[in-house]
Chain A
Amino acid sequence: MKKITALLLILSLVLVMLTGCGSSNKNSDAGSDNVIRIGVYEPSSGDNGAGGKQEVLGIEFANTIVNKVELGGKTYDIKLEIVDNESSNDKGPTAAATLVGKKCSIVLGSYGSSVSIAASDVFGNAGIPVIGVSCTNPQVTLGNTHYFRICYLDPFQGTVLANFAVDQFNAKKAYILTKLGDDYSVGLGNYFKEAFEALGGTVIEENFQEGNSDFTAYLTTAANAGVDVIFAPTSTEAASLIIGQAVSQGINIPLLAGDTWDSSVILEAAKGSSQEIFVSTFFDEGDDSAAGSKFVKDFKAWLNANPDKLANNGGNDIVAAVSALGYDAYMVAVEAIKAAGTPDPKAINEVLWNVKYTGVTGDIAFDEIGDAIRNVAYIKRSNNSDASWEFVAIQSVK
Chain B
Amino acid sequence: MEFINKNLPYILAGISLGGQYALISIGYTMVYGILRLINFAHGDIFMFAGFAMVYLAASTPLYVSIPLVIIITVILGFLIERIAYKPLRSAPRMSVMISAIGVSYLLQNLAWYFTSGLAKQYPKIPWISGSITIGSATTPIVTIITPILTVLLVIILVMLIKYTKIGMAMRAVSKDFETSQIMGININSVISFTFIIGSFLAAISSILYFTSYSTVTPVAGAMPGLRAFVAAVFGGIGSIPGAVVGGLIIGMCENITKGLGWTTFSDAFTFALLIIILVAKPTGLFGEKTTEKV
* B263 pairs with A244, CB closer than 8 A: no
Query: Given known contacts A221-B259, A240-B215, A249-B131, is B112 in contact with A268 (CB within 8 Å)?
Result: no
Asked whether B9 is an interface residue with its Cβ less than 8 Å from the other chain, the reply is yes
A216 to chain B, nearest CB (A): 4
Asked whether A49 is an interface residue with its Cβ less than 8 Å from the other chain, the reply is yes
In the complex, what distance in Å separates the CA atom of A161 from the CA atom of B129? 33
Determine the chain A residues whose CB is within 8 A of the CB of B223 once the complex forms.
211-213
Asked whether A248 is an interface residue with its Cβ less than 8 Å from the other chain, the reply is yes
Interface residues on A, range: 35 or more
Asked whether B173 is an interface residue with its Cβ less than 8 Å from the other chain, the reply is no
In the complex, what distance in Å separates the CA atom of A44 from the CA atom of B117? 8
Among listed A118-126, A202-210, A279-287, interface-contacting one: A202-210
B116 to chain A, nearest CB (A): 5
Neighbour of B138 across the interface among A53, A209, A250, A268, CB < 8 A? A250
Asked whether A220 is an interface residue with its Cβ less than 8 Å from the other chain, the reply is yes
* B220 pairs with A217, CB closer than 8 A: no
Chain B residue nearest in CB terms to A44: B117
In the complex, what distance in Å separates the CA atom of A208 from the CA atom of B223? 14
* B212 pairs with A248, CB closer than 8 A: yes
Asked whether B10 is an interface residue with its Cβ less than 8 Å from the other chain, the reply is yes
Query: Given known contacts A207-B263, A221-B261, A311-B116, is B214 in contact with A244 (CB within 8 Å)?
Result: yes
The contact string, 1 if C-beta is below 8 Å from chain A, for chain B 234-266, is: 000000000000000000001100110101101
Chain A residue nearest in CB terms to B257: A217
The contact string, 1 if C-beta is below 8 Å from chain B, for chain A 242-269, is: 0011001110000000000000010011
* A50 pairs with B118, CB closer than 8 A: yes
* A50 pairs with B215, CB closer than 8 A: no
Chain A residue nearest in CB terms to B141: A248
Asked whether A306 is an interface residue with its Cβ less than 8 Å from the other chain, the reply is no
B47 to chain A, nearest CB (A): 12
| Residues of chain A from 48 to 91 with CB closer than 8 A to chain B in the complex | 49-50, 53
* A209 pairs with B217, CB closer than 8 A: no
B219 to chain A, nearest CB (A): 8
What is the total number of residues of chain B having a CB less than 8 Å from a CB of chain A? Answer: 38
Asked whether A314 is an interface residue with its Cβ less than 8 Å from the other chain, the reply is yes
The contact string, 1 if C-beta is below 8 Å from chain B, for chain A 215-238, is: 011101100100000000000110
Chain A residue nearest in CB terms to B14: A217
The contact string, 1 if C-beta is below 8 Å from chain A, for chain B 115-138, is: 011110100000001010100011
B252 to chain A, nearest CB (A): 11
In the complex, what distance in Å separates the CA atom of A236 from the CA atom of B267? 22
Chain B residue nearest in CB terms to A217: B258
* B117 pairs with A49, CB closer than 8 A: yes
Neighbour of B121 across the interface among A214, A220, A240, CB < 8 A? A240
Residue of B119, B219, B263 most packed against chain A (CB within 10 A): B119
Asked whether B201 is an interface residue with its Cβ less than 8 Å from the other chain, the reply is no
Query: Given known contacts A180-B264, A217-B258, is B112 in contact with A269 (CB within 8 Å)?
Result: no
Asked whether B6 is an interface residue with its Cβ less than 8 Å from the other chain, the reply is yes
Query: Given known contacts A208-B263, A250-B131, is B116 in contact with A245 (CB within 8 Å)?
Result: no
* B213 pairs with A265, CB closer than 8 A: no
Chain A residue nearest in CB terms to B120: A268
Asked whether A355 is an interface residue with its Cβ less than 8 Å from the other chain, the reply is no
B89 to chain A, nearest CB (A): 14
* B112 pairs with A213, CB closer than 8 A: no
Neighbour of A217 across the interface among B10, B117, B222, CB < 8 A? B10
Asked whether B13 is an interface residue with its Cβ less than 8 Å from the other chain, the reply is yes
Asked whether A241 is an interface residue with its Cβ less than 8 Å from the other chain, the reply is yes
Determine the chain B residues whose CB is within 8 A of the CB of A269 once the complex forms.
119, 121, 214-215
* A216 pairs with B254, CB closer than 8 A: no
Neighbour of B117 across the interface among A53, A206, A240, CB < 8 A? A53
* A45 pairs with B112, CB closer than 8 A: yes
Determine the chain B residues whose CB is within 8 A of the CB of A212 once the complex forms.
223, 266
B212 to chain A, nearest CB (A): 7
Neighbour of B13 across the interface among A214, A236, A244, A315, CB < 8 A? A214
In the complex, what distance in Å separates the CA atom of A269 from the CA atom of B266? 26
* A265 pairs with B118, CB closer than 8 A: yes
In the complex, what distance in Å separates the CA atom of A207 from the CA atom of B224? 19
Determine the chain A residues whose CB is within 8 A of the CB of B254 once the complex forms.
214, 217
In the complex, what distance in Å separates the CA atom of A391 from the CA atom of B112? 32
Determine the chain A residues whose CB is within 8 A of the CB of B224 once the complex forms.
213
Determine the chain A residues whose CB is within 8 A of the CB of B118 once the complex forms.
49-50, 53, 236, 265, 314-315
B61 to chain A, nearest CB (A): 19
Residues of A whose CB lies within 8 Å of any CB of B are 44-45, 49-50, 53, 180, 206-209, 211-214, 216-218, 220-221, 224, 236-237, 240-241, 244-245, 248-250, 265, 268-269, 271, 311-312, 314-315
A-B contact pairs, 18 of them (CB 8 A): A44-B117, A50-B118, A209-B266, A209-B267, A211-B219, A211-B223, A213-B220, A214-B213, A216-B13, A216-B255, A220-B137, A221-B258, A237-B119, A244-B214, A248-B139, A248-B212, A248-B214, A312-B116
8 nearest A-B pairs in the assembled complex, by CB-CB distance: A217-B258, A211-B223, A49-B117, A244-B214, A250-B138, A216-B13, A220-B9, A248-B140
Given A49-B112, A206-B261, A220-B9, output 8 extra A-B contacts at Cβ < 8 Å: A50-B119, A53-B116, A213-B215, A244-B121, A244-B214, A265-B118, A268-B121, A311-B116
